[in-house]
């Protein structure tokens, strides 16, 4: 029997402050850079969730020593090691772990096998495998060509490399992070338009913080330096609470995230502002207040696509339709997110329409519905927001949020107190 979670409507407007857990994306970059830096690094504010535990185990397989204290949200990483013969990485469901660890594993002369869940095996890997071959790695596709499992070994000479940008930015980020340890460094040319651009800026910022030199898409040969590194809260996770304020009315402040953030997804607040919410920003906080009266918006979310499903939930309660564009590539995430969100909203009686590059939501009152979540944490977290305003909303397989946010439902409930 599938477990489910019922979300009770709020009885009064929100007035809450919440601090989401550490950023998944920054945690997984910092873990990798620390693992490639000879010596001990201390990561504070780290995320402890399925995706980051996958990365902790992955860097350990490459020879790093990782000791964790989830209660204090710290991870200590001693880097500079190398993988044992026959090393194997289980990236679980994690796109970042798998796409970042492949180039790192190919720095070493020993063969490492990278695999994941059936869901991850269905996601594309061709661009990174192809790029690794261009810079001298040996790559074996052990299943379908262009998919996991794959085995890689190095060393890599580096130098010029061509990689596509339109499927996922993670291929580029993974290559860049291995770049300093390639003999000639790395000079990347993109063969197609890059999606999720802010994540590449984040990659360069974390690399620079660990002592690497990156200019545009060129990485100098060199090394990483260990350090203490503080990780800010997760901006994609924050979108659910900011979205809650827009949907339910009242005010929610997300602390630890503001104009100084490294994460593009803080710009979800800008979209809510365009819909009529009031946004107050400081370097370290974002506050959304709303009367609950919103207008629809026409928005390109190619830079912030992890928040597209959150917006779909908010759009249900706007006074006019919302069109989201530029996100055709999210059909290749944990599930086809365009099809999934449209299918589920239609089951709730909402007139939602699938477009090739996004979706259109016509507002309405969702009827009582038990939502399928497609093993996608963001389906579960987004659709649960509907229950804050509409009665009878239930989310199936709520445990899938553990991929990035095991405490999500507890934090959502804390908004009520």
Binding residues for phosphoenolpyruvate: 24, 95, 123, 170, 337, 378, 403
Q: Given the complex with ligand PEP, which of 40 and 411 has the nearer CB atom?
A: 411
Per annotation, catalytic residue among 51, 303, 306, 372: 306
**Which residues form the interface with ligand PEP (CB under 6 A)?**
51, 94-96, 306, 333, 378, 404
Please choose which of ligand PEP, ligand S3P, none residue 196 contacts, taking the beta carbon within 5 to 8 angstroms, the exact cut-off set by kind.
Answer: ligand S3P
Q: How far apart are CA 1 and CA 282, in angstroms?
A: 45
Minimal distance, residue 309 CB to ligand S3P, in Å: 11
Q: Provide the 3-class DSSP secondary structure of residue 131.
A: helix
Place of tokens 């710009």: 267
Annotated binding site: 24-25, 29, 95, 123, 168-170, 196, 306, 333, 337, 378, 403
Indicate the residue among 55 and 66 with the shorter CB distance to ligand PEP.
55
Binding site for ligand S3P (CB under 6 A): 25, 95-96, 168-170, 173, 195-196, 199, 305-306
Which residues have a Cβ under 8 Å from the Cβ of 295 and sit 6 or more positions away? 275, 276, 318, 319, 320
Least distance from C-beta 383 to ligand S3P, angstroms? 18
Q: Which region, left, alpha or beta, applies to residue 334 given φ > 0 means left and ψ of -120 to 50 means alpha?
A: alpha
Q: Which does 382 bind (CB under 5 to 8 A by kind): ligand PEP, ligand S3P, none?
A: none
Cis peptide bond N-terminal to 267, omega within 30? no
- Summarize the chain as % helix, strand, coil (round to 5): 35, 25, 40
Of 290 and 404, nearer to ligand PEP (C-beta) is 404
Verify whether residue 357 is a known catalytic residue: no
Q: Torsion-angle region of residue 63: left (phi > 0), alpha (psi -120 to 50) or beta? A: left
- CA dihedral angle for residue 126, residue 355, residue 307, residue 29, rounded to 10 degrees: 10
Nearer to ligand S3P, 207 or 294 (CB): 207
Please say which residue, 95 or 249, places its beta carbon nearer to ligand S3P: 95
Smallest gap from residue 112 Cβ to ligand PEP (A): 19
C-alpha radius of gyration, the chain, whole number: 21
What minimum distance in Å lies between the beta carbon of 343 and ligand S3P? 20
Q: Which of ligand PEP, ligand S3P, none sits in contact with 112, Cβ below 5 to 8 A by type?
A: none
Chain centroid, CA 40 distance in Å? 26
- Residue 310 touches which member of ligand PEP, ligand S3P, none, C-beta under 5-8 Å by kind: none
Angstrom distance (rounded) from CA 196 to CA 177? 17
CA quadruple 36, 40, 44, 50: dihedral positive or negative?
positive
Position of minimal CB gap to ligand PEP: 95
Distance of closest approach, residue 69 Cβ to ligand PEP, in angstroms: 24
Q: Smallest distance, Å, CB 132 to ligand S3P?
A: 17
| Among ligand S3P, ligand PEP, none, residue 378 binds (CB under 5-8 Å by kind) | ligand PEP
169 binds, among ligand PEP, ligand S3P, none (CB under 5 to 8 A by kind): ligand S3P
Listed residue (320, 231, 241, 227) closest to 274, CA to CA:
320
Distance in angstroms (rounded) separating the CA atoms of residues 88 and 227: 27
Handedness of CA 200, 201, 204, 209 (dihedral sign): negative
Residues annotated as part of the active site: 306
């Amino acid at each position: 029997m599938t477990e489910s979670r019922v979300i009770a409507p709020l009885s009064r407007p929100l007035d809450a402050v919440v601090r989401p857990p550490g950023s998944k994306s920054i945690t997984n970059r910092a873990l990798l850079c620390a693992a490639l830096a000879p010596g001990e690094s201390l990561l504070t504010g780290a995320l402890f969730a399925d995706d980051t535990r996958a990365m902790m185990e992955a860097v350990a397989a490459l020879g790093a020593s990782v000791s964790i204290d989830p209660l204090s949200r710290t991870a200590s990483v001693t880097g500079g090691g190398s993988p044992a013969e026959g090393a194997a990485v289980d990236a679980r469901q994690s796109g970042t772990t798998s796409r970042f660890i492949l180039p790192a594993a190919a720095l070493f002369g020993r063969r490492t096998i990278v695999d994941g869940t059936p869901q991850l095996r269905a996601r594309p890997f061709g661009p990174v495998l192809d790029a690794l071959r261009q810079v001298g790695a040996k790559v074996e596709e052990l299943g379908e060509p262009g998919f996991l499992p794959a085995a890689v070994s190095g060393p890599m000479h580096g130098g010029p490399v061509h990689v596509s940008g339109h499927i996922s930015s993670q291929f580029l980020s993974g290559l860049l992070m291995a770049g300093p340890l390639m003999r000639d460094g790395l000079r990347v040319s993109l063969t197609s338009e890059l999606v999720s651009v802010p994540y590449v800026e984040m990659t360069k910022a974390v690399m620079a913080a660990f002592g690497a030199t990156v200019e545009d898409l060129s990485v100098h040969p060199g090394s990483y330096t260990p350090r203490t590194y503080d990780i800010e809260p997760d901006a994609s996770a924050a979108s659910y609470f900011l979205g809650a304020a827009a949907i339910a009315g009242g005010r929610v402040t997300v602390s630890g995230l503001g104009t100084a953030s490294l994460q593009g997804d803080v710009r979800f607040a800008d979209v809510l502002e365009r819909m009529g919410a009031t946004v107050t920003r400081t370097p370290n906080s974002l506050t959304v207040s709303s009367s609950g009266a919103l207008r629809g918006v026409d928005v390109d979310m190619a830079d912030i696509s992890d928040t597209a499903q959150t917006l779909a939930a908010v759009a249900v309660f706007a006074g006019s339709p919302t069109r989201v564009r530029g996100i055709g590539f999210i059909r290749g995430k944990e599930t086809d997110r365009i099809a999934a969100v449209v299918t589920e909203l239609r089951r709730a009686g909402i007139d939602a329409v699938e477009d090739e590059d996004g979706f259109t939501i016509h507002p309405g009152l969702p009827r009582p519905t038990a939502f399928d979540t497609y093993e996608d944490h963001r389906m579960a977290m987004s659709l649960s927001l509907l229950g804050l305003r509409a009665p009878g909303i239930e989310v199936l397989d709520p445990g899938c949020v553990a991929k990035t946010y095991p405490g999500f439902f507890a934090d959502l409930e804390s908004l009520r107190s």
